[in-house]
Amino acid sequence: MKNLIDILDITTEEIDALIDTANDIIENPGKYNEKCRHKKLATLFFEPSTRTRLSFEAAMLDLGGSVLGFSESNSSSASKGESVSDTVRTVGCYADIIAMRHPKEGAPLAASFSAGVPVINAGDGGHNHPTQTLTDLLTIKRECGRLSDIKIGFCGDLKFGRTVHSLIMALTRYENVEIVLISPEELCIPQYLKDILRSQNIKFTETRTMESVMSELDILYMTRVQRERFFNEADYIRLRDTYILTPEKLEDAKKTLCIMHPLPRVNEISTEVDVDPRACYFKQVKNGKFIRMALILKLLEVK
Amino acid sequence: MNIDPINNGIVIDHIKAGNSMEIYKFLDLDNVNSTVALIKNVPSKKMGKKDIIKIDKEIDINLDVLGYIDPDITVNIIKNGVRTEKKHLELPSVVKNVIKCKNPRCITSTERGIPHVFKLTDKENRVYRCMYCESSAKETV
Ligand SMILES: [Zn+2]
């Protein structure tokens, strides 16, 4: 593994190894806090994402390394001036590893050709965000104890949610994964994904409400339903409440259910759910840092 | 209509009727300074109608480009009036700098100097996808 651009570029064995390292970091943090001493991570954010950037920076700091970089306040400036290739070639002269977010699809791949150091895709437009997917896989593994034999419900905006698309793609590689798609008709998953699921014989069903399937789920993955995805305000308001998770809707859920959300949330999970032991979304944030630590170690070939 | 047979050169045969102009452009035949004949709607037993391109000189032809446009095309090499070689094409697994990605959100739309690369992702349906953004060539052309 030289870079991480797309989650499907790495094997399930490599994912397992990253998860094992992350688990070891969680159990023995002291063992790792000097591992990247004198190493530098550059966070190149051609569009802002404070949450993802902080997670990468915290990961490197917890490994004893240091961080440098920039975050563009508006994405338009990234399209002017210097090419991505030149920028990363320059940064590669200072830093040992690069985490890059860019509004254009494929920018991190283009960067990896000229950086000279490992490049991690920290999000490229609506395309890929593999460290989010690794975070989700680590969370599922820790909460359910396995990545196969699971029934996972995805709820909300399944049309534009790249987080959902990548996690679905990643899960197609595990045995006996059953997928339940809970969304309004306007926001169901793209046809190409359904085609992939069918061609790989992955069992999936579509439904409009979460109550109808709640009792069967091992994992409930919530996403935001954004106002701008709807043509009119009335549709948005009518549909929004259907996709808000409340304690009432959880009445029939399994005791072992794992509730996930990539965050930030707006109101799609009511704050009353936060105290429920099944709410895992803040654990997910912590896992995000640990899996990024494991990834940095792997890419820097630190033993 | 008569077109003189060529002595030394290349005959690109079994072109799907109507595709010859596209091939002419892709192979940049405009910049070849020998005789080039582009023959359209030639009756064909196998295809009904076909196009043929004759080039009166043996030039280097990018077979990947031809294979990408239409793998059923055949390329004949003529030497001293005799066909010495008949090449059958294959769908190339990668085409580099032949087609451009038209997805406005793709890095290739703004980044200078990077190769435009499309990969064959579905052989059966002849689907090529941009290496960077995964848009299919059909969607984007
Ligand atoms: Zn593209």
The residue among A263 and A82 whose pLDDT is bigger is A263
Establish whether A52 is a catalytic residue: yes
Residue A238 Cα distances to A222, A226, A244, A268, angstroms? 18, 13, 12, 14
Q: Which residues are in the CB-under-5-Å shell of ion ligand 1?
A: B 101, 103, 106, 130, 132-133, 135
Residue B23 sits in the same domain as residue B83:
yes
Q: Give dist(CA B90, CA B139) in Å, integer.
A: 22
Containing A124, the helix (H) or strand (E) segment is strand A119-124
Residue B52 sits in the same domain as residue B118:
no
Residue A279 sits in the same domain as residue A238:
yes
Residue B63 sits in the same domain as residue B117:
no
In a domain, A183, yes or no: yes
Chain A residues touching B133 at Cβ < 8 A: 105-106, 127
Residue B75 sits in the same domain as residue B102:
no
Structure tokens given for A190: 């793209």
Q: Give me the pLDDT at residue A180, please.
A: 98
Q: Give me the pLDDT at residue A76, please.
A: 47
Residue B24 sits in the same domain as residue B76:
yes
Q: How far is A123 from chain B (nearest CA, A)?
A: 12
In a domain, B3, yes or no: no
Residue B52 sits in the same domain as residue B21:
yes
Q: Give me the pLDDT at residue B141, please.
A: 37
Residue A36 sits in the same domain as residue A156:
no
**Number of domain units in chain B:** 2
- Nearest residue of B to residue A128 by CA position? B133
Residue B104 sits in the same domain as residue B81:
no
3-class SS at B130?
A: strand
Containing B88, the helix (H) or strand (E) segment is strand B82-88
Residue A137 sits in the same domain as residue A274:
yes
Establish whether A80 is a catalytic residue: yes
Return all residues near A123 (Cβ < 8 A) that are at least 6 apart.
A49, A52, A101, A102, A129, A132
In the predicted model, is pLDDT for residue A74 greater than 70? no
Q: Report chain A residues touching chain B, CB-CB < 8 A.
A: 79, 83-85, 102-107, 109-110, 113, 124-127
CATH of the domain at A147: 3.40.50.1370
Residue A155 sits in the same domain as residue A262:
yes
Q: B67: domain range?
A: 9-88
Q: Give dist(CA A210, CA A269) in Å, integer.
A: 13
Q: How large a percentage of chain A has pLDDT more than 70? A: 98
In the predicted model, is pLDDT for residue A230 greater than 80? no
Answer with the one of B88, B111, B126 that is the final residue of a domain: B88
Of B103, B111, B134, the CB nearest to A110: B111
Residue B47 sits in the same domain as residue B104:
no
Region A8-37 average pLDDT: 97
Residue A153 sits in the same domain as residue A28:
no
The residue among A242 and A279 whose pLDDT is bigger is A279
Residue B14 sits in the same domain as residue B82:
yes
In the predicted model, is pLDDT for residue A116 greater than 80? yes
* DSSP string for A79-118: GSSS-HHHHHHHHTTT-SEEEEEESSBTHHHHHHHH-SS-
In a domain, A2, yes or no: no
Q: Give me the pLDDT at residue B12, please.
A: 95
Question: Which phi and psi (to 5°) does residue A50 adopt?
Answer: -55, -45
Q: Give dist(CA A87, CA B43) in Å, integer.
A: 56
Return all residues near B19 (Cβ < 8 A) that are at least 6 apart.
B51, B69, B70
**Number of domain units in chain A:** 2
In the predicted model, is pLDDT for residue A227 greater than 90? no
Structure tokens given for B87: 């090449």
In a domain, B22, yes or no: yes
In a domain, A1, yes or no: no
CB contact under 8 A, A107 and B107: yes
Query: Are the C-beta atoms of B62 and B95 separated by less than 8 Å?
Result: no
In the predicted model, is pLDDT for residue A81 greater than 90? no
Q: Give me the pLDDT at residue A171, please.
A: 97
Q: A261: domain range?
A: 130-285
CATH of the domain at B112: 2.30.30.20
Residues A51-72 have pLDDT tens digits of: 999 999 999 999 999 999 999 8
Residue B16 sits in the same domain as residue B82:
yes
Residue B83 sits in the same domain as residue B108:
no
Q: Give me the pLDDT at residue A80, please.
A: 60
In the predicted model, is pLDDT for residue A158 greater than 70? yes
CA dihedral A241, A247, A249, A253 (to 10 degrees): 150
In a domain, B1, yes or no: no
Q: Give me the pLDDT at residue B1, please.
A: 63
Residues A240-262 have pLDDT tens digits of: 788 999 999 999 999 999 999 99
- Report which of A135, A165, A101 is spatially closest to residue A15, judged by C-alpha positions: A135
- Report which of A91, A138, A173, A107 is spatially closest to residue A292, judged by C-alpha positions: A138
Residue A184 sits in the same domain as residue A281:
yes
Chain B residues touching A103 at Cβ < 8 A: 105
Residue B102 Cα distances to B3, B91, B120, B127, angstroms? 39, 21, 17, 15
Residue A116 sits in the same domain as residue A177:
no
Query: Are the C-beta atoms of A158 and A183 separated by less than 8 Å?
Result: yes
In a domain, B35, yes or no: yes
Residues A122-155 have pLDDT tens digits of: 999 989 999 999 999 999 999 999 999 999 999 9
